[in-house]
Structure 1
Amino acid sequence: MRILLATAGSRGDVEPFTALARRATAEGHHVLLVAPDNSGADLSGIDVRSMSVDYTRMIEEQGVSLMAALRSYSSVIRPTMNAVIVEPARIAREYRPDVVVAHPKVLSAPLIAEALDVPYVLVELVPAMTPTRAFPAAGTTTRNLGFLNKLTYRFVAASGAMFANDLDQAAAVFGTRRRRPAGPAATLMPISSAILERPSDWPETVHLTGPWLTDRPRTVLSDDVRSFIAGGDFVYAGFGSMVAGNAEQRTREVLAATRSFGARALLVTGLGGLTTSPHLLGDDVHVVRSVDHTQVLPQAVAAIHHGGIGTLQTATRAGTVSVVIPFIADQPFWGARIHARRLGSAPIRQSRLTAARLRASLAETESYRPEVQRAALAMTREDGVGTALAVIVTTS
């Protein structure tokens, strides 16, 4: 089978697709992955085509704030979304897949599948597209609105109307006119049921598969990281691609809380969520730009992070308690969900982060550890990639 995978966004949006690509290839399928440049994900051994966008550079230049996005809408956001919508169409026309499997940002995926007369499979990395009464769409509100929860999904779906001209360009690639396409043949959510309970009102075509992970190390840990980890209790702190607010002040609060807690700190600066200001550091701190979570988090006393679903699931699967500092989008949703399921303390908004609040959350980690360890055991029994691939094959 010829499988076209298409994703857009930062590393957390790309890595699940790389795990799926590797498993599908290993099982004899021909896989082509369309992805952004410079995501930080390991693409070795995968047949990849560039989407001709660089989210990393965009984040480094303007951060992740809503105001920055609005200011650069015409100069950055529109051209980026044009490439995300049109480039996969051009690549698909040449590749001629048997199935299209795509991230929700790839708005052209349904019309691509329709033009090629093949199934379309939606990959919903966070629950924001499939309506349910159980909870509001991730990224809208963390309050349970009861019977109004379903209405929040309309706001997410309506965002596609902003890019009608770009979708017309994608349709023109196939010499067709844009129509309202049918829904996906299947929806895959690479989320563990240990973290999110499957709502009873989701259709049978929606599959909560478990996370799409790969067992192979992403990178080899450097000797200095290995040495630091071996030196005693440490707390992981990293905010991925979250470049917002005052990074130096955030680092100061994180280190003050960690030191007060009595642990050392492994600071992962990512794209700039934390800083390396020398006057804040010491022998009890080790700083790296990026690190393989699967090798580090199992040994951490706790993980302070932004609440991205990838980091959250990796930490939980490792049996490590998360302290979530959400910034934007779906992160407050995940912070609220894990607290509700007794997998971590109440989230602390990054704008309200103080050493005292963070120290209090770190002090609570042991009370959540038994539930996290039970979740970790359940997650080790999941084969998210295998489940997803079986659905794709059956759908096709």
Structure 2
Amino acid sequence: MKLLLITAGSRGDVEPFVELARAAAAAGHDVRVAAPDRSGVSAGDVDVVSLRVDYTSTIEDQGVALGAAMRNFRTVVKPTMRSVIVGAARAALTFRPDVIIAHPKVLSAPLIAEALDIPHVLVELVPAVTPTRAFAAAGTVAADLGVLNRLTYFAAASASAMFSAALDEAAQLLGVRRGRPMPSPAATLLPISPSLLQRPGDWPLNVHLTGPWTGAGVAEDLAPEVAAFVADGSYVYVGFGSMAAGDAAARGRALVAAVRGRGQRLLVATGLGGIEIAPSARSDDVLVVRSVPHSRVLPNAATAVHHGGIGTVQAATRAGTVSVVVPFIADQPFWGAMLHRRGLAPEAIRYNRVTAERIGNALDATPQYRHSVEAAAQQMSTENGTAAALAIITAIRG
């Protein structure tokens, strides 16, 4: 079967698609991934084509603050979404797949399905599209609004109106007419562990929690200095991925003070700029690098302080490491609140409220969550999300 996987966003949006592609190729399918450039994902063994969009460059230029995105909506956001919407259509016409598996940002997926007369599968990396009364859409509010939770899902449904011109261009390219009902997804897949998110009873039957899509890639080697640091004993890991907002230097000072104040060592992954550690603060007990493979460093970490993206949430939990979530934007407050609600982490600390005292109190609280996290890790060790997802996808075509 020919499968086209199309995704948009930063590393956390690309990595699960690449892992699913690896698993599908290993199962004998003809697979291609259409993705942004410079995501940071190692995909050398996967057939990847470019959507001609660079989210990493955008983050480096303007950070991740919502205000910056709104100010640059016409000059940055709309052109970026046009590249995704139209680029996805071009990739589909070139590859002619039997099924497309698409990120929610790929708004042209239903148009592609209509034009090629094939099913499409929606991948909700976070629960923000399928309405439920159980919780508000990730990326809206972190609080439980009860009966009003379903209303928060209208935001995702209205996205097409903001990018109508790009969708018109994609429709023309595909030879279909907009304005009439487009096909609904044949299935919706959420590559999330049930140990983190309980499946709502009001989801349709074709919406599936598959478990995370991990495990098929080649393990990255650790740099010698990181390998030596990890081998030397317990440490606190800190990394905020692609998040770049607020006072990164102040956050760095607070984190160093909190960790050192408890006699612990600190491994810092600076990512795209969410944390800055002054040279004077670095010593044998504080190692600072750009990035590290989570699978290699989180199992040995006493605690993981991170932004709460679903990829890092699942990596830390799977490693049996308690998280201290410092959310910035989007779904991160949702996961910070969800982990705390399920007894898996202390209460989240917003990125602009980080102090040595707050981080220190969270670190002191982590032992009470360790048993629950270890139980969740045990459950996750039995999950094979890629196999579950492939079984659903192949069943669609019979």
TM superposition score normalised by structure 2 = 0.98
**Which residue does the alignment assign to 1:44?**
44
Report 1:298-377 matches (<5 A). Answer: 298-377=299-378
CA contact (8 A) 1:7 1:35 kept: yes
Deviation at 1:217, TM superposition (A): 4.2
Deviation at 1:167, TM superposition (A): 0.4
**Which residue does the alignment assign to 2:90?**
90
CA contact (8 A) 2:111 2:174 kept: no
CA contact (8 A) 1:123 1:188 kept: yes
**Which residue does the alignment assign to 1:30?**
30
SS at match of 1:364: helix
2:395 counterpart of 1:394? yes
Amino acid at match of 2:160: G
Deviation at 1:277, TM superposition (A): 2.1
CA contact (8 A) 2:123 2:188 kept: yes
CA contact (8 A) 1:217 1:294 kept: no
Deviation at 1:37, TM superposition (A): 0.1
Amino acid at match of 1:157: A
CA contact (8 A) 1:221 1:292 kept: yes
SS at match of 1:115: helix
1:54-108 deviation per Cα after TM superposition (whole angstroms, max 9, x unaligned):
0001100100001111121111111110000001101111111000100001110
**Which residue does the alignment assign to 1:175?**
175
CA contact (8 A) 2:114 2:176 kept: no
**Which residue does the alignment assign to 1:138?**
138
1:18-70 deviation per Cα after TM superposition (whole angstroms, max 9, x unaligned):
11000000000000100000000111111111000000011001000011111
**Which residue does the alignment assign to 1:150?**
150
Tell which deviates more after alignment, 326-335 or 72-81. Answer: 72-81
**Which residue does the alignment assign to 1:128?**
128
CA contact (8 A) 2:19 2:216 kept: no
Whole-angstrom distance in 1 between the partners of 2:343 and 2:236: 20
SS at match of 1:337: helix
Deviation at 1:275, TM superposition (A): 1.6
**Which residue does the alignment assign to 2:229?**
228
SS at match of 2:297: helix
**Which residue does the alignment assign to 1:250?**
251
**Which residue does the alignment assign to 1:111?**
111
In structure 2, the CA distance between the partners of 1:195 and 1:120, relative to structure 1 (3 Å rule), is same
Amino acid at match of 2:386: V
Deviation at 1:133, TM superposition (A): 0.5
Identity percentage of aligned residues: 57
**Which residue does the alignment assign to 1:193?**
194
Whole-angstrom distance in 2 between the partners of 1:158 and 1:218: 40
CA contact (8 A) 1:306 1:326 kept: yes
Whole-angstrom distance in 1 between the partners of 2:152 and 2:198: 19
Amino acid at match of 1:55: Y
Deviation at 1:222, TM superposition (A): 1.3
SS at match of 1:4: strand
CA contact (8 A) 2:192 2:211 kept: yes
Deviation at 1:114, TM superposition (A): 1.2
Whole-angstrom distance in 2 between the partners of 1:216 and 1:188: 21
Whole-angstrom distance in 1 between the partners of 2:146 and 2:359: 31
CA contact (8 A) 1:133 1:201 kept: yes
Deviation at 1:176, TM superposition (A): 1.9
Deviation at 1:218, TM superposition (A): 4.2
TM superposition score normalised by structure 1 = 0.99
1:182-223 deviation per Cα after TM superposition (whole angstroms, max 9, x unaligned):
221100000000000000111110000000012544421111
Amino acid at match of 1:44: G
SS at match of 1:187: strand
**Which residue does the alignment assign to 1:272?**
273
Q: Gaps spanning 5+ residues in structure 1: where?
A: none
Amino acid at match of 1:285: V
Amino acid at match of 2:243: M
Figure out how many residues of one structure are paired with residues of the other and give that number: 396
CA contact (8 A) 1:198 1:208 kept: yes
CA contact (8 A) 1:42 1:218 kept: no
Q: Gaps spanning 5+ residues in structure 2: where?
A: none
**Which residue does the alignment assign to 2:3?**
3
CA contact (8 A) 1:217 1:295 kept: no
Runs of 4+ in 1 over 2 A off after TM superposition: 215-218
Tell which deviates more after alignment, 155-164 or 35-44. Answer: 155-164
CA contact (8 A) 2:253 2:277 kept: no
Whole-angstrom distance in 2 between the partners of 1:215 and 1:5: 16
1:152-200 deviation per Cα after TM superposition (whole angstroms, max 9, x unaligned):
1012211221001100111111222123312211000000000000001
Amino acid at match of 2:31: V
SS at match of 2:158: helix
SS at match of 1:244: coil
CA contact (8 A) 1:217 1:292 kept: no
Amino acid at match of 2:322: V
1:228-254 deviation per Cα after TM superposition (whole angstroms, max 9, x unaligned):
011222000000000000111111111
SS at match of 1:100: strand
2:166 counterpart of 1:166? yes
SS at match of 1:261: coil
SS at match of 2:261: helix
1:353-375 deviation per Cα after TM superposition (whole angstroms, max 9, x unaligned):
11101100001111100000000
Deviation at 1:261, TM superposition (A): 2.1
CA contact (8 A) 1:189 1:209 kept: yes
Deviation at 1:276, TM superposition (A): 3.8
**Which residue does the alignment assign to 1:66?**
66
SS at match of 2:149: helix
